[in-house]
Amino acid sequence: MSEFCPVHCVNIGCPIPSFLENNQAFLLTVIGIGGSGLTVLLSYCIKSRCQKINLCCGLLSCDRVISDPPVKDTTIDVEIADSPSVSSLA
pTM (two decimals): 0.47
| CB 62 within 8 Å of CB 53 | yes
- Convert the pLDDT of each residue in 31-68 to its tens digit: 999 999 999 988 887 787 777 877 777 777 878 887 77
Confidence band for 28, pLDDT divided at 50, 70 and 90: very high
pLDDT level of residue 13 (50, 70, 90 thresholds): low
The DSSP call for residue 5 is -
Rounded Cα distance between 50 and 64, Å, is: 8
pLDDT per residue as tens digits for the range 74-84: 777 777 777 66
